[in-house]
Amino acid sequence: MKTQKTPLYLGLDASTQSLKALIIDAALNVQSEFVVNFDRDLPQFATQGGVHRHDDKLTVTAPPLMWVAALDRLFDGMRAEEFPFQHITALSGSGQQHGSVYLAHGTEGKLRDLSATEPLHTQLETIFALDASPVWMDSSTTAQCRALETALGGAQAVADLTGSRAYERFTGNQIAKLHQTQPERYAQSERIALVSSFMAGLLTGTPAPIDFSDGSGMNLLDIRQREWVATALTACAPDLASRLGTPVPSHSCVGTMAPWFVQRYGFSKSCRVIAFSGDNPNSLAGLRLQEAGDIAVSLGTSDTVFGSLRDPRPSGQEGHVFVNPIDPEGYMAMICFKNGSLTRERVRDRHAGGSWTDFGDAFARTPPGNHGRIGMFFLEPEITPPVLNTGVFRFDERDRPVAEFDRDGDVRAVVESQFLSMRLHGERLGLQPRRLLATGGASQDPVMLRGLADVFGVPVAVIDQRDSAALGAAYRALHGYRCYAADRFIPFADILPSSPATHVAAEPDPEAHRIYNTMLKRVARLESQLCIKG
């Protein structure tokens, strides 16, 4: 690689399956990318999809030493390509949300006394009080979730404080399980980190603080006061505050590169490390969803709706409200729908012979509102709304259950019901779109874009942004550095334009939107009935 003289900004993304580096310059141009795949490049850890699934089918973990080894492998590969580490002005990072890392007593001394002639992972094998980190896929803490809700006054009370009801994958409940089932491991833990703060601590050579945004995914942080909830800490485990440290704003500079990285790779001693955050917050930064009403819909295996907001309305049933990673006074909301593209594909295969073109033709043959018919397709147990009973639930114009629609009716029903559900649950959390960005594999389909525009009543723009979490981390490195240099918070929009390059792909039809406004109440009522049955 040719040596760059311009300042560079590095974003790291420690996702479920890989560790990625993405480098931008001050003009936001992507200069280079590097990646280490855990399964392929680190076979000694024997992961599948970056994780270990346990016999109970509920417990899912990853070896934290693997993430250290991945950092060795990543930077060694960059050095082999003569990457100019000395020109990195600042870096930040993204970590898979909800994963927890338990650091044993004496970790800080071992980080401080590293030898630059030896790899990182061989020197840090003994820093973990627990060598299997619970990750976001783990669902083994139902008992701890119910206990937390009881201690705080119910699911809605937990959501009002922490932004979400008690979720099995959230870190506070994972910590409670460790304390209850392996108290000796908890006692050995001097510091408990998230994946994001753990990776930041490796780079600074001292345990790094948890940022407000990723900390919002723990069921422990008061999202309005930006501090730990004392009653939640007490309900989870003793002496927890000292193990977590004091949380910080996401734009904070948490240190400079540790001597090991300076000596081994040639990083500048003055290279600043900006607080790492979670993958979803970093994706919001990568898509530059800066203002209230900036909303993205990711159409993938599962569908996700997320965006910035000012007036949070946490729900005790569904969805999440986090502190906004690029606005210390704002919030972000996120909702996940398990039945996404795979469900739409099942309908396509059944009624359109596997052809998206024929699927689109069938959609166009029925009017908006589907002659009053509503169909809900839950081929997998659904997260939002919480429906356990799988199947297809069809209703006529009077909300009476019916066994079947015609082919075209099913095609329109699956699109309309999914997007109406997105709008319904987004509005419950306070998401009111002024613009909508569509991303993900299905965002190129004109049927999907037309459906989104008509249901939400706003123009839909398409953005094909790969690696939004890594890019968001790089953007946050640049933003955080500018804040550090100015010794004050600078609005994200003053440094980065309000949105990446997009084009409007669909405009709403006012009459169709009026029909969907009427349908929304019916969808809410019918979903509620299914949730009761579930």
Residue 465 binned pLDDT confidence (cut-offs 50, 70, 90): low
Instruction: Tell which residue, 445, 192, 489, has the closest CA to residue 297.
Output: 445
What pLDDT score does 500 carry?
66
pLDDT in tens, 190-209: 999 999 999 999 999 999 99
Identify whether the C-beta of residue 286 lies closer than 8 Å to the C-beta of residue 469. Answer: yes
List the domains of the chain with CATH numbers: 8-281 (3.30.420.40), 341-462+505-533 (3.30.420.40)
Under the banding of pLDDT at 50, 70 and 90, the label for residue 533 is very low
Looking only at Cα atoms, what is the longest distance across the chain? Answer: 74
Helix (H, G, I), strand (E, B) or coil at 353: coil
Q: How confident is the model at residue 532 (pLDDT cuts 50, 70, 90)?
A: low
pLDDT confidence of 6, banded at 50, 70, 90? confident
Q: Does residue 380 or residue 507 have the better pLDDT?
A: 507
Q: What is the pLDDT of residue 464?
A: 65
pLDDT band at 300 (very low <50, low <70, confident <90, very high): confident
Structure confidence at residue 311 as a pLDDT band (50, 70, 90): confident
Q: In terms of C-beta density within 10 A (0-12 exposed, 13-18 middle, 19 or more buried), how is residue 113 classed?
A: exposed
482-522 pLDDT, tens digit per residue, is: 999 999 999 999 998 766 667 889 999 999 999 999 999 99
**pLDDT value of position 387:** 86
In 3D space, the residue among 227, 113, 235, 115 whose CA is nearest the CA of residue 172 turns out to be: 235
Task: Tell me what the mean pLDDT of segment 40-45 comes to.
Answer: 98
Q: What is the pLDDT of residue 499?
A: 65
C-beta of residue 322 within 8 angstroms of C-beta of residue 331: yes
Q: Residue 523: which H helix or E strand, with range? A: helix 510-533
Under 8 Å between Cβ of 99 and 133: yes
Q: What is the 3-state secondary structure (H, E, C) of 188-230?
A: HEEEEEEHHHHHHHHHHCCCCCCEHHHHHHHCCEECCCCEECH
Give the model's confidence band at 1: pLDDT under 50 very low, under 70 low, under 90 confident, else very high: very low
Q: What token pair was written down for 237?
A: 């485990």
From its phi and psi, is residue 501 left (phi > 0), alpha (psi between -120 and 50) or beta? beta
At 74, the amino acid letter reads L
Residue 131 has pLDDT above 80, yes or no: yes
